């Protein structure tokens, strides 16, 4: 079991294993082999990036019962799936840009994110865990007023910077055992739940999605948010926390 990061140092982008406050750089790609190069770096010397480079960002809506009830919707019988563009992806501490047009309300959504470890196609439910490298923290940022006006999700959830993930990939947690998940804005808690309340758990989502499309190493699946979503504005700082994984912080800045 390990914790993996993707980082930049001296204009180079690399993967590494994180132990405490020490980074052990990997020789190559995290998903093609995990041999370390023998060096060690202080975590304070590197800049954390989004912990993987997915080919697609898959997302599941209304995957907590209380969130469906928050919108007066029935509990879904099958996962409600949408995709965010890669241009939405950012990492820890990078700013989420408040749109200068189209939308006027931007909401936070704390989410557990699955990171796929190897190519998955037609995976059985029993095999699914073997295709998960680990988990990270996500924020499914949403232009809520645009969603309410159009009823569509691609644009309202697909603005540039609307998919923060990080700070790392944690391989030593089991969401099925129950991990506390919460969101905080300017130090005040806004959401609080537990992953044991997911309607469709991580193995099921990997199984289900792999029936339709090939999941590539590094692909991510946002698993849905609990109730308590709400708006943020430029100048606010969002923090998403998941027990056993860590904390993902992103400031909100006005787009120029």
Strand partners, 107: 142, 231
Helix (H) or strand (E) segment spanning residue 58: strand 57-61
Rg (CA), the chain: 17
Percentage of the chain modeled with pLDDT above 90: 92
With vertex at residue 203, the alpha carbon angle to CA 224 and CA 174, rounded to the nearest 5 degrees, is 80
pLDDT, one tens digit per residue, over 85-126 is 999 999 999 999 999 999 999 999 999 999 999 999 999 999
Nearest to 219 by CA among 51, 80, 61, 95: 51
The whole-angstrom separation of Cα 91 and Cα 168 is: 9
Please give the pLDDT value at position 65. Answer: 84
Within 13 Å, how many C-alpha atoms sit on residue 97's CB side? Answer: 14
Q: Are 233 and 99 in contact, with CB atoms under 8 Å apart?
A: no
pLDDT of residue 18: 98
Has residue 72 got a pLDDT over 90?
no
pLDDT at 83 over 80: yes
Say yes or no to pLDDT of 145 above 90: yes
pLDDT at 201: 97
Residue 219 in contact with residue 193, Cβ under 8 Å? no
What's the chain's length in residues? 256
61-75, 211-225, 227-241, range with the lowest pLDDT: 61-75
Complete edge-to-edge strand list for the sheet that includes strand 230-232: 142-143, 106-108, 230-232
Q: What is the mean pLDDT of residues 122-144?
A: 98
Nearest of 195, 228, 197, 191 to residue 75 by alpha carbon: 197
Q: Which residues touch 130 (CB under 8 Å, ≥6 apart)? A: none
Residue 1 has pLDDT above 80, yes or no: no
State the pLDDT at residue 76: 87
Cα gap 255→104, rounded to integer Å? 12
What's the pLDDT tens digit per position in 183-226? 999 999 999 999 999 999 999 999 999 999 999 999 999 999 99
Instruction: Give mean pLDDT, residues 64-89.
Output: 89
Phi, psi of 121 (to 5 degrees): -145, 130
Helical segments of the chain, H only: 65-70, 144-150, 202-210
pLDDT value at position 71?
Answer: 78
Q: Which of 133, 141, 129 is nearest to 218 (CA)?
A: 133
Q: What is the pLDDT at residue 89?
A: 98
- The confidence score (pLDDT) of residue 172 equals 95
């Amino acid at each position: 079991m390990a914790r993996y990061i993707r980082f930049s140092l001296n204009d180079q982008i690399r993967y590494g294993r994180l132990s405490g406050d020490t980074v052990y750089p990997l020789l190559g790609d995290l998903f093609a082999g995990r041999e370390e190069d023998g060096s060690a770096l202080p975590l304070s010397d590197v800049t954390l990036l989004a912990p993987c480079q997915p080919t697609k960002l898959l997302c599941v809506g209304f995957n907590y019962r209380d969130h469906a009830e928050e919108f007066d919707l029935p509990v879904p019988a099958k996962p409600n799936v949408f995709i965010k563009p890669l241009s939405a992806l950012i990492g820890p501490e990078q700013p989420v840009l408040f749109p200068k047009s189209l939308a006027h309300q931007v909401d936070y959504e704390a989410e557990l994110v699955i990171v796929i470890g190897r190519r998955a196609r037609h995976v059985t439910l029993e095999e699914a865990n073997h295709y998960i490298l680990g988990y990270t923290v996500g924020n499914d940022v949403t232009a809520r007023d645009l969603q309410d006006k159009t009823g569509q999700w691609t644009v309202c959830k697909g603005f540039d910077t609307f998919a923060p993930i990080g700070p790392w990939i944690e391989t030593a947690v089991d969401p099925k055992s129950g991990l506390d998940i919460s969101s905080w804005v300017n130090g005040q808690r806004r959401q609080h739940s537990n992953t044991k309340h997911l309607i469709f758990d991580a193995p099921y989502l990997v199984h289900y999605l792999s029936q339709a499309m090939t999941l590539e190493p590094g692909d991510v699946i946002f698993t849905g948010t609990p109730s308590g979503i709400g708006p943020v504005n430029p100048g606010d700082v969002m923090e998403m926390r998941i027990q056993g994984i860590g904390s993902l912080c992103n400031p909100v800045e006005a787009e120029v």
